[in-house]
Amino acid sequence: MQPSPTPELSQFAADVLAGLSATPKRLSSRYFYDDEGSRLFMEIMKLPEYYPTQAELKIFEDQSDDILAAFSDNAEGIDLIELGAGDGAKTAVLIEHFLAEDLDFTYSPIDISQEANAALEARFREKFPSLEIRPHTGDYFQVLDSLKNGNGRRKVLMFLGSNIGNFLREKAVDFFRSLRLVMNPNDRLFIGFDMQKDPRVIVAAYDDPQGVTAAFNLNLLTRINRELGADFDPAKFSHYAQYRPVECAARSFLISREKQTVHIEALGRSFDFEQWEPIFMEISQKYTHAMLEELSSESGFTIEAEFLNDEDFYIDSLWRPV
């Protein structure tokens, strides 16, 4: 008898079924981040074309005093909670500064990848022996709900790297509203936003010549093969990225290079692909100031402070619940 699928696998299977049954076909970017996907994304962040990493890093290096002041204003101490921490390279700049200034704080990275979390914890324990670090592996909201009441200290939730750009607008508002529900009035939300800019710069960030972004997207097919018993041949698909300036959005696709049929055992289904048929994989929204104002107000927040990198037109925005 086959073992029953776990709830997580059942949701994965259901989302793959819905996506590949849709017209046009799609796969959810939330499933990019298995252990290999997390490793590949850390490689993407090191690419010279992927400017958001360096843009945000420069903000942290140049404006760490102002960020510390904004985080700790009228707070006895803070609990720094990072959603999707990855390798923590940028956050390390803030942590080093906060420790040097004797800020009373703890650091809790939340990531869906146990491997990424374990590597981050080991690195930070070695680099910052005095840091109180409390990693959590799992779904953001389940972990945050368990931390909601806590010790009454200010929580600063950080969602960096413009990862919010992977959400369509309605989903972004839902995400922020869900965060608002697990926040107290004295808590803060610190979000990275990649702003609208030269379309050529944006396209290069999502279609690097080294092929790392392509491998990152194609890895989802490998994950479906492994976890759902599919027979995707990643070599029969190619990665394609574009930017639509009117929508302020980059989009990525996997394109079927030939007419083919893929069977997925866990679904008991086969899916036909025409030659050059796309699978929509990811949106990377870029923002204007007006969009930030609308998002914050609709989600139950007000913008308290902004930290801008003029050169790359990237903003880290601090929101207060209202």
For tokens 């990811």, name the residue. Answer: 282
Cβ neighbours of residue 180 closer than 8 Å, sequence gap 6 or more: 299, 300, 301, 321
CATH 3.40.50.150 range(s) for the chain read: 51-195+287-321
Residue 307 · residue 61 · CB < 8 Å: no
For 194-228, how does the pLDDT look when each residue is reduced to its tens digit (9 = 90+)? 999 999 999 999 999 999 999 999 999 999 999 99
For 179-196, how does the pLDDT look when each residue is reduced to its tens digit (9 = 90+)? 998 899 999 999 999 999
pTM assigned to the model: 0.86
Query: Which architecture does CATH list for 51-195+287-321?
Result: 3-Layer(aba) Sandwich (3.40)
The residue among 221, 234, 268 whose CA lies nearest residue 34 is 221
CA dihedral 110, 113, 117, 120 (to 10 degrees): -110
* 57-71, 84-98, 130-144, 290-304: the lowest-pLDDT one: 130-144
Using 50, 70 and 90 to split pLDDT, how confident is the model at 149? low
For 71-116, how does the pLDDT look when each residue is reduced to its tens digit (9 = 90+)? 999 888 999 999 988 788 899 999 999 999 999 999 999 888 888 8
pLDDT of 130 strictly over 60: yes
For 20-63, how does the pLDDT look when each residue is reduced to its tens digit (9 = 90+)? 999 999 999 989 988 899 899 989 989 999 999 999 999 999 99
Q: Give the span between the Cα atoms of 205 and 53, in whole angstroms.
A: 11
Using 50, 70 and 90 to split pLDDT, how confident is the model at 151? low
Q: Whole-number mean pLDDT of the chain? A: 92
Residues belonging to the chain:
322
Q: Give the span between the Cα atoms of 28 and 217, in whole angstroms.
A: 11
The residue among 21, 11, 43 whose CA lies nearest residue 210 is 43
